[in-house]
Copies of this chain bind each other. A is one copy, B any other.
Amino acid sequence: LDYQHVQVPFEITLWIMLASLAKIGFHLYNKLPSVVPESCLLIFVGLIMGGIIYGLNDRSPPVMDSDIFFLYLLPPIVLDAGYFMPSRPFFENMGTILLYAVVGTVWNVFGIGFSLYGICQVQAFRLQDVSLLHNLLFGSLIAAVDPVAVLAVFEEIHVNEKLHILVFGESLLNDAVTVVLYKLFRSFCEMPTIKSVDVFAGVGKFFVVGLGGVLVGLSFGFTAAFTTRFTKDIRVIEPLFVFLYSYLSYLTAEMFHLSGIVAIIACAMGMKRYVEANISLKSHTTVKYFMKMWSSVSDTLIFIFLGVSTIGENHEWNWPYICFTVIFCLVWRALGVLVLTFFVNRFHVNTITSKDQFIIAYGGLRGAICFSLVFLLPDFHRKKLFIAATTVVILFTVFVQGMTIRPLVDLLAVKRKRESAPTVGEQIHIRFLDHLLAGIEDISGHWGQYYWKDKLEYFNSKYLQKILLREYDQPKSSIVLLYEKLERKHAIELAEAGQLGHGPPQPSLQFGFLCSNDSTVIADQKLEDTLSPDVLNNMKEILARNLYRIRRMGPAYSRHTLPGESEPTEHAQEILILRHKSL
Q: List chain A positions with a Cβ less than 8 A from chain B.
A: 1-3, 5-6, 8-10, 13-14, 16-17, 20-21, 23-24, 27-28, 30, 67, 71-72, 227, 230-237, 239-241, 244, 247-248, 251-252, 254-257, 280, 282-283, 285-286, 289-290, 292-293, 296-297, 420-421, 423-425, 471, 474, 482-496, 500-518, 520-521, 523-524, 527-533, 535-536, 539, 542-543, 546, 550-551, 553-555, 557
Contacts and interface: CB of A to CB of B under 8 A. Distances in A.
**For the complex, would chain A's binding face be called helix, strand, loop or mixed by DSSP majority?**
helix
B20 A237 contact: yes
Contacts of A524: 512-513
Contacts of A296: 234, 236-237
Contacts of A516: 523, 528, 531, 535-536, 539
Given A485-B512, A489-B511, 10 more contacts: A21-B227, A24-B227, A27-B230, A280-B532, A286-B289, A488-B492, A490-B495, A502-B550, A502-B551, A506-B553
Please list the 10 inter-chain residue pairs (A to B) with the smallest Cβ-Cβ separation, ordered nearest first.
A491-B495, A490-B505, A491-B491, A27-B233, A517-B520, A286-B289, A503-B554, A502-B554, A489-B515, A6-B251
Nearest to A501: B501
Q: How many copies does the complex hold?
A: 2
A528 B252 CA distance: 35
A265 B189 CA distance: 57
Contacts of A509: 546, 550
Given A9-B247, A13-B244, A230-B28, A237 B546 contact: no
A423 B482 contact: no
B23 A234 contact: yes
8 contacts: A2-B256, A5-B254, A232-B532, A285-B285, A285-B289, A489-B517, A492-B520, A514-B542
Contacts of A285: 282, 285-286, 289
Contacts of A239: 289-290, 293
Contact of A16 (B240, B495, B512): B240
A514 B543 contact: yes
A1 B256 contact: yes
A254 B6 contact: yes
B521 A517 contact: yes
B421 A529 contact: no
Nearest to A33: B233
A148 to B, nearest CB: 16
A154 B516 CA distance: 27
Given A495-B491, A550-B502, A520 B520 contact: yes
A423 B518 CA distance: 21
A444 B35 CA distance: 64
A420 B513 contact: yes
Contacts of A231: 24
Nearest to A295: B236
Contacts of A9: 71-72, 247, 251
Given A234-B23, A515-B543, A500 B492 contact: no
Contacts of A542: 514
A67 B528 CA distance: 40
A513 B543 contact: no
B493 A492 contact: no
Q: Which of A9, A71, A546 has the most CB of B within 10 A?
A: A9
B523 A521 contact: no
Contacts of A551: 502
Contacts of A23: 234, 237
A290 B236 CA distance: 8
B512 A486 contact: yes
Contacts of A237: 20, 23-24, 293, 296-297
A135 B517 CA distance: 57
Nearest to A498: B487
Contact of A292 (B67, B236, B494, B543): B236
A486 B482 CA distance: 23
A255 B500 CA distance: 59
A487 B27 CA distance: 36
Contacts of A283: 289
A494 B491 contact: yes
